[in-house]
């Protein structure tokens, strides 16, 4: 399986909304709702912020939301805050092979 | 609260074998609803899934690393391990262990929901 494709960087001003796309294929993102999103601050382990395309784990801010259209999943951060500056990775699971894959990662900068 | 802790040598010589262990505390590794995995991150690079193991020993490996990696589980010690043979500089990375669900419902969906803090491995020549 190949890594899912994400833009290298996305930026926005405080209070704005930004969207990070995660492009896959019909073998992963397109036909299954097995997309998750992870936030990683420098020097820290990744932290799960979205699972099953749209669901937030307990304790994750509702400013984070997920969606999917066709073979592309997206993470939207609304009301951008300085603490949101981090790297974000999408992930998916291949049910047919039980393999996992991550996206190429996106660095979010708060201007 | 379940926690994961990686351990292993920080430095490995090129062509040798890297061995890492992940200790699980606050819960049992022998769960029907969880796989246990290894993910690595080379310096300045993205996340790369390596492999996952079930408590029964059933394993799944990344095609890009299959043949060089082996995962195992020790339920008596509540630990699971990773071995990478014939390492090169390209294997230099932070290695994370993590827990993954085995099903999809409103509470979880094949995601890695708990991660260790990571352990840095450098391959030297």
Which residue, among B90, B118, B88, has the nearest Cα to B13 in the 3D structure? B88
Under 8 Å between Cβ of B40 and A99: no
B96 contact residues in A (CB cutoff 8 A): 45-46
Q: What is the mean pLDDT of residues B10-28?
A: 97
Name the percent of chain B lying above pLDDT 90: 93
CB atoms B113 and A57 under 8 Å? yes
- In terms of pLDDT, which residue wins out, A3 or B48? B48
Model confidence at B122, pLDDT cuts 50, 70, 90, reads: very high
Q: What is the pLDDT of residue B51?
A: 97
Measured between beta carbons, the chain A residues lying within 8 angstroms of B110 are 34, 36, 93, 95, 100
How far is A42 from A20, CA to CA, in rounded Å? Answer: 19
**The pLDDT value given to residue A57:** 96
- CB of A91 closer than 8 Å to CB of A73: no
- Under 8 Å between Cβ of B47 and B41: yes
Report the distance separating Cα B100 and Cα A93, nearest Å. 10
Residue of B nearest to A33 (CA): B109
Residues of chain B found within 8 Å of residue A31, distances taken between Cβ atoms: none
Q: Is the CB of residue B15 less than 8 Å from the CB of residue B86?
A: yes
SS (H, E, C) chain B: CCEEEEECCCEEECCCCEEEEEEEECCCCCCCCEEEEEEEECCCCCEEEEEEECCCCCEEECCCCECCEEEEEECCCCEEEEEECCCCHHHCEEEEEEEEECCECCCCECCEEEECCCEEEEEEC
Walking along chain A (111 residues) 10 residues at a time, the average pLDDT comes out as: 92 98 90 94 98 96 97 97 98 92 97 96
């Amino acid at each position: 399986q190949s890594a899912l494709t994400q833009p290298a960087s996305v930026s926005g001003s405080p209070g704005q909304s930004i969207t990070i796309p995660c492009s896959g294929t019909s073998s992963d993102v397109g036909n299954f709702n097995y997309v998750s999103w992870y936030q990683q601050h420098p020097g820290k382990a990744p932290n799960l912020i979205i699972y099953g395309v749209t669901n937030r784990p307990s304790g994750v801010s509702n400013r984070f939301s997920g969606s999917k259209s066709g073979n592309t999943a997206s993470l939207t951060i609304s009301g951008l805050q300085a603490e949101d500056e981090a790297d974000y990775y999408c992930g998916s699971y291949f049910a047919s092979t039980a393999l996992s894959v991550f996206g190429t990662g996106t660095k979010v900068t708060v201007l | 609260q379940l926690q994961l802790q990686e351990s292993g040598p920080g430095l490995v010589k090129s062509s040798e074998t890297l061995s890492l262990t992940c200790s699980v505390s606050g819960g049992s590794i022998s769960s029907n609803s969880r796989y246990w995995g290894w993910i690595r991150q080379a310096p300045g690079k993205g996340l790369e899934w390596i492999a996952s193991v079930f408590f029964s020993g059933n394993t799944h490996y990344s095609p890009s690393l299959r043949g060089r990696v082996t995962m195992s589980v020790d339920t008596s010690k509540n630990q699971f391990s990773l071995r990478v043979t014939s390492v090169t500089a390209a294997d230099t990375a932070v290695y994370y262990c993590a827990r993954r669900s085995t099903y999809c419902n409103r509470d979880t969906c094949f995601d890695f929901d708990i991660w260790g803090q990571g352990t840095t491995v450098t391959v030297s020549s």
